């Protein structure tokens, strides 16, 4: 695999843009392919097998387009799909996990809130992660963020409806002594201004985007896959979505500062290649359709 090949970044929807921004900030010379699988968001409400199959479909699509490494910028897809992705092909795969370890390190009260999708919270990977730190004496308050991803996918990050959801989910954690909140979904950093508006500086917010970018850098260096550094130049960026191009454009404009975005395209309109769809289980099961 040539070192100047692009890096694939994938999320169930728009949340992975928060990770994409961190990768761009640390590795500006790398070219990036970002896929938002918004047609099937939120993954947090999907069956585990569906999440794994969908993640494999996206990974294979990116690999066919020359990606040299793959960032699973989705906590839910990491929890249920990263093992299969790593077994599927010999390329660097970097996943994301809720920031339990850094939260445990900074909490003064020992009470830590975790806001994540239901699918992440029920996963064996998360249970193992939590058990390692609960044994050290910390208390974790885990809360599914039902409805938050849907709001963010619609471009809503601070409406009265969003503020009401944050009040319902976060206020009880604060009342129980939480001084640290783990943002356990890559969509949730979009809510940081709203959380700050309501809770001020009472909570330390843990976002793992920068840590993911550093782990990606380490993997690229280890495998000899770092792109050549050309002073004054930066890699290009292509964004793809399985749903609404305008929603992706709006959120990219909001989060990415002057990005060198070459194109934003709805998949299925690229090189005449059909997107490998997986129908939702409620329709025809979870079989891969070409």
Binding positions for substrate: 11-12, 43-44, 75-76, 186-187
**How would DSSP label each residue in 150-215?**
HHHHTT-SSSHHHHHHHHHHHHHHHHTT--EEEEESTTGGGGHHHHHHHHTTSSEEE--HHHHHHH
DSSP symbol at 226: P
Question: How far apart, in whole angstroms, are the C-alpha atoms of residue 263 and residue 261?
Answer: 6
What string of H, E and C letters represents the secondary structure of 234-249?
Answer: CCCEEEEECCCHHHHH
Dig out the tokens for 70 from the structure: 């793959």
Mark whether 151 is an active-site residue: no
Which of 97, 33, 101 has its CA nearest to residue 67? 33
Return the bridge partners of 142, or none. 114
Residue 73 and residue 20 in contact, taking contact as beta carbons nearer than 8 Å: yes
CA neighbor of 92 nearest in space, from 10, 210, 7: 7
Q: Under DSSP, is residue 223 helix (H, G, I), strand (E, B) or coil?
A: coil
Sequence ranges of the binding site:
11-12, 43-44, 75-76, 186-187
For residue 226, which of 64, 67, 30, 89 has the smallest C-alpha distance?
Answer: 30
Give percent helix, percent strand, percent coil of the chain, each to the nearest 5.
Answer: 45, 20, 35
Rounded to 10 deg, the angle between the 209-222 and 17-26 helix axes is 50
Write out the catalytic residue numbers: 74, 185
């Amino acid at each position: 695999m040539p070192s100047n090949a692009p890096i694939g970044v994938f999320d169930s929807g728009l949340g992975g843009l928060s990770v994409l921004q961190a990768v761009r900030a640390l590795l500006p010379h790398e070219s990036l392919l970002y896929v938002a699988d918004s047609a099937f968001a939120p993954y947090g409400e999907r069956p585990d097998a569906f999440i794994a199959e969908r993640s494999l479909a996206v990974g294979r699509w990116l690999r066919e387009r020359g990606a040299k490494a793959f960032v699973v910028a989705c906590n839910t897809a990491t929890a249920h799909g990263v093992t299969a992705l790593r077994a599927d092909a010999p390329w660097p795969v970097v996943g994301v996990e809720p920031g339990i370890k850094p939260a445990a390190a900074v909490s003064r009260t020992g009470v830590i809130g975790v806001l994540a999708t239901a699918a992440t919270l029920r996963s064996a990977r998360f249970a193992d992660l939590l058990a390692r730190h609960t044994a050290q004496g910390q208390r974790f308050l885990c809360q599914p963020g039902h409805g938050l991803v849907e709001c963010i996918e619609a471009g809503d990050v601070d409406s009265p409806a969003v503020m009401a959801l944050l009040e319902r989910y976060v206020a009880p954690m604060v009342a129980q002594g939480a001084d640290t909140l783990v943002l356990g979904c890559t969509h949730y950093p979009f809510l940081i201004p709203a959380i700050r508006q309501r809770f001020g500086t009472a909570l330390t917010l843990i976002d793992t985007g920068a840590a993911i970018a550093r782990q990606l850098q380490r993997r690229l260096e280890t495998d000899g896959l770092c792109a050549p550094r050309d002073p004054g130049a930066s890699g290009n960026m292509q964004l793809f979505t399985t749903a609404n191009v305008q929603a992706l454009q709006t959120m990219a404009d909001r989060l990415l500062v002057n990005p060198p975005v070459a194109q934003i395209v709805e998949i299925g309109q690229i090189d005449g290649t059909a997107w490998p769809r997986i129908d939702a289980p409620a329709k025809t099961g979870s079989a891969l359709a070409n």
